[in-house]
Amino acid sequence: MVSRGGRGTARIVVAAPSSNAGKTSVATGLVAAFTARGLTVSPHKVGPDYIDPGYSGLAAGRPGRNLDPWLVGEERIAPLFLRGAMHPGPADVAVVEGVMGLFDGASHPSVEPGFASTAHVAGLLRAPVVLVVDASSQARSVAALVHGFATFDPAVRLGGVVLNRVGSDRHESILREALGAAGVPVLGAVRRMEQLHTPSRHLGLIPAAERSDAALATVRRLGEVVASSVDLDAVLALARSAPPLDARPWNPAAEVATSPGRPRIAVAGGPAFTFGYAENTELLEAAGAEVVTVDPLRDEVLPPGTAGLVVGGGFPEVHAAELSANESLRAEVAALAARGAPVAAECAGLLYLARELDGVPMCGVLDVATAMSPRLTLGYRSAVAVSDSVLAPAGTRVRGHEFHRTHADPPAGRDGAWRWSEAGPEGFVAGSVHASYLHLNWAGSPQLASRFVTACARRSEHARAHR
C-alpha cells in the first residue's frame, strides 16, 4: 500500500550527469505512467525553470512546483515539497525532476559550490536519486561514469539508473552487464525515439500551454514509453524507501498578513504568459485577494472591479502581433495604471507594458521600447530594491533570476526597480507600476505579496469612496 501524502510521501529525484540527457522526458514519462496506473502524483522541478513543470503538471493533472534553495531558502524546500504533496489533495508518490548535472549548482560568489544543485535538493528531501544516462555514444564506459556519480558524494543515495537513447538489444545487454559489475541497479532502458522530441525555441522548450493538444499527445506517449521501458514497480519501491521528513507543509496563510476588503487582482495567463510560480498566487489569496485570470490574447476587458494587475513571464515576442491587435485590453491596462492601480510585471510583463515590442505597439504604460536581442541574459541575482514601490520599500533584499533575450531602451534610470551590480538600476518604478526583468518566487519573500495586496485594497477602497 502506497503512503498517501504527509511527511512520509514516497518520492524520487530524477537526475542526470549533464543537461540534455533526457531528464524531462523520463521524469514526465514517470509522472504520466504512474498517473495512468491510478496513482496521484505530485510533480516537482529543481531550479527556477517554468517550462518543465508545465509538462509534468499536465501529466499529473496538478501544478508542477519548483524547489529552488536560491529563490526560497534551504529551510523552505521540505515545507514547499510537502505543500505540493498535500495540495490540492494527498499524493501517492512525488517525482522531482533535477536541473543540469546532478552536482551542478548556483554559480554565485555568495554560496558554496553545489548550492541549489539537484544533489543539494535531494539531500534536503532525503530522497533517493534515479540517474538518467544518455547511453547513445558509450558502452562499458557507462559503468565508470555511474560509479563516479555514485561515489562522488556519500550523502547522495543513488538508487538506480535509467538508460536513455539505447540503440539495440545488443547495446542494452552490454550496458546492463557493465552496470551489473558496478553494483548499481538498472531500472529501465529507453530506446532512441526522435518522434518524442519536444519542440524548442530561443529560451528552451516550448511551454505545454502553447502546444495544447500536441503537448497532451507528447505527455501521453512519454508515459507509454516509460511504462514499457522502465520497471515502475522497482521505481515505486525505491520511492517508498525515502524516510519521513522532519518538516510541516508550507502554509501561505502563516506567511502573510491579511488585508481587508478582498481586492480583486487580475493575473495574466494564457499562451503568452505561462511563467509563474503557484506559490505567488497562493500568497495573494492568503493575503486577502480575490485572484482572477485574464488572457491578454483573448480577453478584451479586464475583470470587473479589478484593483490590481500582475503580469508574469512568458513569450510575448512570439505573440506580439496578437497582443498588439487586442487594442481594447491594451487600452484597459493603460487606463488601470493611469488611475493609480498597482501593477507588478516580470520580464514578459515588462515587455507588455512597454510602448512597443520589436516595433509593434504594446500597452504604453512605460515609455520604453523593447526588442529581441541576440544575447541571452541568464543567471541568479541577489538584488536590492532601489525605490519604494507597490512590491517593496527601498532597501528590501531579494533573490531572483534573469532569463531573457530582449532589452529595454532606455534602460532604468534613477527610479529603477532593483540593483544587483555596479552597472546600475534595473527595471522601472513609475507611480504604482513595478516592472522588472527579475523573476521572483514570492515564497522566498512573502512580504511582497502582503504589500501588493495592501496597496490593491487601498486602491479598491479609494475607488469605492469616489463613486
Whether residue 293 sits in one domain with residue 209: no
Grid cell in block for residue 117: 544543485
Residue 245 located in a structural domain? no
Q: Which of 16, 347, 398, 408 is catalytic?
A: 347
C-alpha dist (Å) from residue 220 to 58, 95, 355: 10, 16, 41
C-alpha 71/C-alpha 388 separation (Å) is: 22
CATH number (domain holding residue 422): 3.40.50.880
Residue 183 located in a structural domain? yes
Whether residue 40 sits in one domain with residue 181: yes
Whether residue 285 sits in one domain with residue 222: no
Whether residue 261 sits in one domain with residue 208: no
Residue 164 located in a structural domain? yes
CATH number (domain holding residue 79): 3.40.50.300
Residue 3 located in a structural domain? no
Whether residue 54 sits in one domain with residue 157: yes
C-alpha R_g of the chain = 23
Whether residue 183 sits in one domain with residue 275: no
Whether residue 268 sits in one domain with residue 214: no
Partnered with residue 96 across adjacent β-strands are 13, 44
Q: Where are the alpha helices (DSSP H) in 87-140?
A: 118-125
Q: Is the whole-model pTM more than 0.85?
A: yes
One-letter amino acid of 296: P
DSSP run (H or E) holding 60: helix 51-60
- Whether the CB-CB separation of 286 and 258 falls below 8 Å is answered with yes
Residue 246 located in a structural domain? no
Partnered with residue 237 across adjacent β-strands are none
- The structural domain count of the chain equals 2
Whether residue 192 sits in one domain with residue 112: yes
Residue 267 located in a structural domain? yes
Residue 406's domain spans which residues?
252-465
In tens digits, what is the pLDDT along the chain, a chain of 467 residues?
Answer: 344 457 889 999 999 999 999 999 999 999 999 999 999 999 999 999 988 888 899 999 999 999 999 999 999 999 999 999 999 999 999 999 999 999 999 988 889 999 999 999 999 999 999 999 999 999 999 999 999 999 999 999 999 999 999 999 999 999 999 999 888 999 999 998 754 555 443 434 555 555 567 778 888 999 999 999 999 999 999 999 999 999 999 999 999 999 988 999 999 999 999 999 999 999 999 999 999 999 999 999 999 999 999 999 998 778 999 999 999 999 999 999 999 999 999 999 999 999 999 999 999 999 999 999 888 889 999 999 999 999 999 999 999 999 988 999 877 766 799 999 887 899 999 999 999 999 999 999 999 999 999 999 998 876 666 66
Supply the pLDDT for residue 1.
37
Domain boundary, last residue among 208, 240, 272: 240
Domain boundary, last residue among 215, 240, 265: 240
Domain boundary, last residue among 190, 218, 240: 240
φ/ψ of residue 163, rounded to 5:
-80, 130
Grid cell in block for residue 100: 543540469
User: Residue 249: is the preceding peptide bond cis (ω within 30°)?
Assistant: no
Residue 247 located in a structural domain? no
User: Which own/partner pairs from 373-378 qualify as long-range (CB within 8 Å, at least 24 positions apart)?
Assistant: 373/405, 373/406, 373/407, 374/405, 375/405, 375/407, 376/202, 376/203, 376/404, 376/405, 377/402, 377/403, 377/404, 377/405, 377/437, 378/402, 378/403
C-alpha 404/C-alpha 375 separation (Å) is: 8
Whether residue 276 sits in one domain with residue 388: yes
Q: For the chain, how many residues are written?
A: 467
Whether residue 233 sits in one domain with residue 284: no
385-423 burial string, b = 16+ CB within 10 Å, else e?
bbbebbbbeeebebbbbbbbbbebeeebeeebbbbbeee
Whether residue 455 sits in one domain with residue 411: yes
Residue 101 located in a structural domain? yes
CB atoms within 10 A of CB 315: 20
Residues 6+ apart with CB under 8 A from 297: 270, 271, 272, 319, 322, 323, 326
C-alpha 239/C-alpha 167 separation (Å) is: 28
Supply the pLDDT for residue 109.
84
347 given a catalytic annotation: yes
Whether residue 231 sits in one domain with residue 156: yes
